[in-house]
Amino acid sequence: MAARAYWQGQIRLSLVSIPVEIYSAAKSGAKISFRQIHEPSGKRISYEKTVVGIGPVDRDEIIKGYELSKGEYVLLDDDEIEAVKVESKKTLELVQFVGADEIDPLYYEKPYYVVPANELAEEAFIVVRETLRKAKKIALGQLSVRGSEKLIALKPCGKGMLLETLRYADEVKKGQTFFDEIDDVKPAKEMLDLAATLVKQRTAPFEAGKFEDRYADALMKLIEKKAKSKSSKKILEDVEEPEATGANVIDLMAALKKSVKDSPKEKPKARKKA
């Protein structure tokens, strides 16, 4: 089944318009979801909409409310909300360019692949892609889709481009409020050198395929095992945990030295024959 485009329209840079299609670059993967079940009967639990002091209510009696203060709401119906939705324009205007390292990772939200909509669009698409790549810049714009407006960043990605939705400033918590109580101390040089050696020993190219969701795998095995057993008996299996120490304070220097010693050493390079 062909992938369904998340958005179709034009990327516009000044007077240049490029027809493109945008596709989601992420998928749910091996995420496992559960339903709530009534244990005695084995049937799924359903939910009713209720009002305190009144009881169950009809769905057509429900409207949306914005809470101004506890128990005080501004009521809005669907027509009022629909009237202020941003028009889903079919043009993404590139309004600003920033350095590739200027956007804090905190702002990145969801990735999407961008491809030219047809062969006629390829030349202009490639020109914009290669210009961004050569300048080491990211393009910024705002994308109107499904009634809302999203801040986006556009960058080269292989033969195509990658569009990432960004969080707005008021959607990001400032880290400094969490970091204020951390002591401002300078570590000993020997500790920094040992830690740097450990990082160097374990440095390798990133390959996402090397990492697996061990929890999802173990949970799926448990589900399959219990499905085969056709029993309600509990199946509890111990999962190996890292050995914990009883003390809160550890000898950091000794731990770093041991870590460096236990890490796999770099393979010696073959000497050239004389």
Give Cβ neighbours of residue 36 (< 8 Å, ≥ 6 apart).
44, 45
Domain boundaries, the chain: 7-28+85-170
The one-digit pLDDT tens for each residue of the chain (274 residues) are 568 899 999 999 988 899 999 999 988 765 788 888 888 888 898 888 888 889 889 888 888 998 988 889 898 888 887 777 665 678 899 999 999 899 999 999 999 999 999 999 999 999 999 999 999 999 999 998 877 889 999 999 999 999 999 999 999 988 778 888 888 888 889 989 989 898 888 888 888 888 887 878 888 888 888 888 877 677 776 656 555 554 444 688 888 788 888 776 655 454 444 3
pLDDT of residue 129: 96
Architecture of domain 7-28+85-170: Beta Barrel (2.40)
pLDDT of residue 46: 85
- Token representation of residue 135: 């300048």
Centre a 10 Å sphere on the Cβ of residue 109 and count the other Cβ atoms it contains.
Answer: 15
> Can you spell out the DSSP letters for 130-143?
HHHHHHTEEEEEEE
Please, are residues 152 and 166 in contact by the beta-carbon 8 Å criterion? yes
d(Cα 86, Cα 212) in Å, to the nearest integer? 40
SS (H, E, C) 74-113: EEECHHHHHHCCCCCCCEEEEEEEEECCCCCHHHEEEEEE
pLDDT of residue 241: 59
pLDDT of residue 34: 86
